[in-house]
Chain A
Amino acid sequence: MNPLACPAPRRLASFALPSVPGTERIALTQVADSVAHLNLPPQRLNKLKTAVAEVTMNAIEHGNDNRADLAVDIEVFYSGSEIIVTVTDHGGRGDSGWADDGDDAEIPDLYRKLSGDQGPRGWGLFLIRHMVDGMEVTVEGERRTVRLTMRAPVQEGQAGELRHIGG
């Protein structure tokens, strides 16, 4: 095989959800189901689920303004070493609730929140960054896509089953 030929990531799932609060629970379950065969360690899987839920919540609330008629489109890919989840909403031209340059987002600080210096919320972006290995935001017209990546190297076993290696 030509080592320079990198196959495109394989799509594991593609689905759309209405922008109704709470629907992020469906997103995290469907994403988890789509990567079940990769045998992620439970703690990694839980992190991925949390990140997917947070991104989906943001898409529902800020990208699509909780409008049930607007869909959040979610796709899951696997590259052989990395899980990729994309979440797309219609928040490209509005206030996404997050700066597209994530570094501008204020870092939540519990003690500043307890003193009233910050509001109690605002933990979503913070959680995502600690749950997955990468996060990118791109905007194309009115569509905004958040791309999450999580390293998940897999070694194919002798019986053809996939085994997860590394942490």
Chain B
Amino acid sequence: MADRLTSVIDIRGDITAASEPALMAAYEEASQQGARRLVLNFSGLEYMNSGGIGMLVTLLVRANRQRQPLAAYGLSDHYREIFELTRLDEAIGIYDDERSALAG
């Protein structure tokens, strides 16, 4: 279970450039509620393209400014590989499941 300093953002469906308003709104809401750490749940991810990767970079820039570490879990093998290729796995802690991501 997330503590009040950690927020989990559940991602469902597609992550593309068009997802930016929804994801940033979720980030803003979590930040306003005092989240000091954010965990992205990719279990429901169906498709992500280069626009979505760019959007995650934008999210990282904003989170870094606020000194809010990002973590993620639920990535398929394919998208884990893409995270490694883009080095997103160096900036976002990657975990196998929610429990380990929250314990991170």
Contacts and interface: CB of A to CB of B under 8 A. Distances in A.
A129 B58 CA distance: 23
Given A113-B57, A120-B55, A43 B50 contact: no
B: contact size bracket: 20 to 34
Mostly helix, strand, loop or mixed at chain A's interface? helix
Contacts of A111: 87
17 contacts: A22-B16, A22-B18, A47-B78, A50-B49, A50-B82, A54-B49, A54-B50, A108-B86, A110-B86, A113-B57, A120-B57, A121-B51, A122-B54, A123-B50, A124-B49, A126-B85, A126-B86
Contact of B18 (A21, A50, A54, A108): A21
A57 B86 contact: no
Contact of A120 (B49, B58, B81, B82): B58
A2 B80 CA distance: 45
B50 A110 contact: no
Contacts, number: 64
Interface string B26-61: 000000000000000000000101110111011011
A164 interface: no
Nearest to A113: B57
A114 B78 contact: no
A57 B54 CA distance: 14
Contacts of A116: 61
Given A114-B57, A126-B86, 6 more contacts: A21-B18, A50-B82, A57-B50, A110-B90, A120-B61, A121-B50
Contacts of A22: 16, 18
A121 B81 CA distance: 18
Given A108-B86, A114-B60, A130-B85, A43 B49 contact: no
Interface residues of A, number: 26
Contact of A127 (B50, B88, B90): B50
A57 B49 contact: yes
B54 A123 contact: yes
A70 B18 CA distance: 22
B47 A25 contact: yes
Contacts of B87: 110-111
Interface string A26-64: 000000000000000001001100100110010000000
